[in-house]
Amino acid sequence: MSSSDAGLEEGPELSITLTLRMLMHGKEVGSIIGKKGETVKRIREQSSARITISEGSCPERITTITGSTAAVFHAVSMIAFKLDEDLCAAPANGGSVSRPPVTLRLVIPASQCGSLIGKAGTKIKEIRETTGAQVQVAGDLLPNSTERA
């Protein structure tokens, strides 16, 4: 996939390492891990991203994806498609054909949220308009953390 196909600016690959952290419910994490870890293994191999999932049996866990911008984009895309596939496979309640959108909750250091929002909300508005995605930044910090969802 070329960078223009991915919706990124054309030009040489940025030589940065990107880390995204996502807060995921246990059922979502189970879906991403797959039977015997096969799904997460496939995502790691095909995207070349490093993917770690926090330990524990708590209701929510952190999935960390690290790599080049292209590798992280590919891994997040694969995760989103897997979650969408699971939503499609879930039995429709009352025969309804509509299903909820895939929601990814990123964990962002509070110190970086200002850059994401921009002056008077201009940057987040631009992101919403350019991508068509619904983007929200939580007003409160996550419990016992310096990060926001």
The whole-number pLDDT of residue 1 equals: 42
- Asked if residue 48 is part of any domain, the answer here is yes
The whole-number pLDDT of residue 76 equals: 95
Q: Residue 69 class from Cβ within 10 Å (0-12 exposed, 13-18 middle, 19+ buried)?
A: middle
Give the span between the Cα atoms of 68 and 53, in whole angstroms: 19
Full residue range of the structural domain in which residue 141 is found: 109-148
What is the layout of strands, in order, in the sheet containing 18-25? 50-53, 60-67, 18-25, 105-106
Domain count, the chain: 2
**Is the pTM of the predicted complex or chain greater than 0.75?**
yes
Q: Are residues 62 and 115 in the same domain?
A: no
Q: Are residues 71 and 33 in the same domain?
A: yes
Task: Encode the chain (149 residues) as per-residue pLDDT tens digits.
Answer: 444 444 444 455 557 899 999 999 988 999 999 999 999 999 999 999 999 999 987 889 999 999 999 999 999 999 999 998 988 886 655 555 667 788 889 999 999 999 989 999 999 999 999 999 999 999 898 888 899 99
The whole-number pLDDT of residue 94 equals: 54
The whole-number pLDDT of residue 61 equals: 92
